[in-house]
Structure 1
Amino acid sequence: MPMLRHCLTGGLIIAALAGCSSKVAETQQYSGFLRDYSRLQATDSPSGHPTLRWISPDYHSADYQGIYYTPVVYYPAAKPTARVSQSTLENLKNYVDSRMKAAVARHKPLVGSPGPGTLIMKTAITTVSAENQDMKFYEVVPVAAVVASTMAASGHRTQNSVLYLETQLIDAKTGNVMMEAVRKAYGKTVPNNSAPITLEDLKQGADEMINDVAAFPPKS
C-alpha cells in the first residue's frame, strides 16, 4: 500500500507538471490585438514549428504591389518587472522591429503610405516571460517526480524564456484582414523563476519566428 500511494502521488505530480508547457499560444494567452482569434488554425511554420494562422480565401499575393510596414508595438503596453527590465523591453522591441522589417521587405517593396494595391503589416509583442520546462523522461519516476515538483514549487526549476508575437496583414483599400497569425517561440533557458530575462535570452526565439516570416511562401 505505501508503494501504491507513492506511485499514485508521483502519477498525479507527473500529470500536473507534464502539461505545463504548450508549444502554441492558448486561448487565455490571446492579447486582443487581432480582430478574430476563432478562425486561427494550428499549422506548421516554414521551419516546422507549430503556429496558429489564418489566411483569407480572398487573399492573392499578385493583387498587391507593396507593403506598408508599421513599427512593432507591445500589446498591451509593456511595463518593466523584476525579471524584465525597461532596457530589455526597449532593446527587444527595436531588435524585433528591425529584423521583421527586413524580413517583410523580402516579399514585396515597402511603401511610405498605405493605398490601393498595398497591404498594411502590423505586429505586436504580446508576452515576454518564462515557463517551466517540460518534464524529461528520467523525471517520470515517482521519486524523481516528487523532487521535480518540489523544485518547481520552490522556484528552482530551470525555465524556458518565451516570446509571443501576433501579426496581421490588412488590405489598405478595403480594411479587410487578409492574414493573421499567433506565434510562440522559446529562447534560451534561465536557471529559475527569479533569474532576469535578457535580450540575449530572447533572441533565439525572435530569430526563429522572424526567419519563418522571411521564408513564408506568399500565396498566389
Structure 2
Amino acid sequence: MMKFSALSLVLSSALLLAGCASKTPTPSQYSGFLSDYSQLQPAQSASGAPVMRWVSADFNIENYRSVLVERPQFYPAPTPHSQVSQQTLDDIALYLQQAIRLELAGRLRVVEHADRETLVLRSAITAVNLSPEGLKVYEVVPVALVAAAASTAAGTRDLNTEVYVELEVIDGRTSQPMTRVVRKGHGLQLENDSTQLQLNDIKPALDTWAQDARLFKP
C-alpha cells in the first residue's frame, strides 16, 4: 500500500477534488487505448449513465448482421496488486466479454471472425479506483488497485469502487471506427483496504455496460 504524508494528503484533496465531482471521466483520465479522443462529447448511455461518446455520421446499425466481441484488455498492462490477483483480472476480462456477447446475441449474430457485415467491439478496462466512503479524495491509478491516500486516515472505513472502460466499435469491412465511448461504473463497497477485490464486487458495473451495449442507439 502506498504511503503519503499529511501534506501530500492535503495537496491530493485540493488538486484532485474536481475529479471527485465529475460523473464522467475527464481528459486527464484517458488511457491512450483509443486512437482519438478529440471528438468525444458528453452523452447518456441507454441506462441514463453519463458517458463521453462519439458516433460517426456514417454509422447505421441496420447495415450490420453480426458482431465480434474481442476479449477486453487491461490498458496499460496490469501488475497484480495486494488487493487484486491475476486470477481476478482474468475473471473480470472474461466475464465482461461473455456478458456483452450474451446481451448482443439478442440483437446481432455473435461471430468469431469478422466479415463485411460485422461490427467489431474492442474494449479496455483502464483503471480501478478505491476511495474511502465519505472522504473527498480522488485518485485513479491505471489498472493497479491503489487506495487513495485518505484510506490510511480512514482506518476501517468502507472503500467505494469505481472502474473505468474505453470502448470502440469498428466496421469489419473498412476498419473505420463507428463509435467510441469512455465511461466509468460503480461496484460494491469493500470493507477496508485489506479486503481482496473479487469479480463479484464489480459485476454491477460490468452488467450495466453489457446491457447498454445491447440497447445502444446511434
Could you say which TM-score interval applies, normalised by the shorter chain?
A: 0.7 to 0.9
CA distance in 1, matches of 2:104, 2:36: 22
For 2:59, give the aligned amino acid. Answer: Y
After superposition, the Cα gap between the structure-2 partners of 1:26 and 1:20, relative to the gap in structure 1 and judged at 3 Å, is: closer
1:121 CA drift (Å): 1.2
**Contact 1:20/1:132, CA 8 A, preserved across alignment:** no
**Contact 1:125/1:164, CA 8 A, preserved across alignment:** yes
Aligned to 2:109: 109
Structure whose residues are more often helix by fraction: 1
For 2:199, give the aligned amino acid. Answer: L
Aligned to 1:6: none
TM alignment of 1:84-163, pairs within 5 A: 84-133=84-133, 152=151, 154-156=153-155, 157-163=157-163
SS at match of 1:203: helix
Structure 1 runs (4+) deviating above 4 angstroms are 12-20, 150-153
**Contact 1:17/1:134, CA 8 A, preserved across alignment:** no
**Contact 1:171/1:177, CA 8 A, preserved across alignment:** yes
SS at match of 1:189: coil
Root-mean-square deviation over aligned CA pairs: 2.6
Aligned to 2:25: 25
Q: Cα deviation per residue 1:162-185 (whole Å; 9 max; x = unaligned)? A: 111111111122121001111100
After superposition, the Cα gap between the structure-2 partners of 1:124 and 1:20, relative to the gap in structure 1 and judged at 3 Å, is: closer
1:213 CA drift (Å): 1.6
For 2:81, give the aligned amino acid. Answer: T
Aligned to 1:37: 37
Aligned to 1:208: 208
Structure having the higher Rg: 1
1:155 CA drift (Å): 4.3
For this pair of structures, how many residues does the alignment match?
Answer: 194
Aligned to 1:174: 174
Tell me the TM-score normalized by structure 1: 0.77
SS at match of 1:201: helix
Give unmatched runs, 5+ long, in structure 2. Answer: 1-10, 137-148
Q: Percent identity?
A: 33
**Larger CA deviation: 17-26 vs 100-109:** 17-26
Tell me the TM-score normalized by structure 2: 0.78
Aligned to 2:53: 53
Query: Are 2:75 and 1:75 equivalent residues in the alignment?
Result: yes
For 2:153, give the aligned amino acid. Answer: S
SS at match of 2:189: strand
CA distance in 1, matches of 2:189, 2:54: 30
After superposition, the Cα gap between the structure-2 partners of 1:134 and 1:107, relative to the gap in structure 1 and judged at 3 Å, is: farther
After superposition, the Cα gap between the structure-2 partners of 1:69 and 1:85, relative to the gap in structure 1 and judged at 3 Å, is: same
After superposition, the Cα gap between the structure-2 partners of 1:134 and 1:26, relative to the gap in structure 1 and judged at 3 Å, is: farther
After superposition, the Cα gap between the structure-2 partners of 1:134 and 1:36, relative to the gap in structure 1 and judged at 3 Å, is: farther
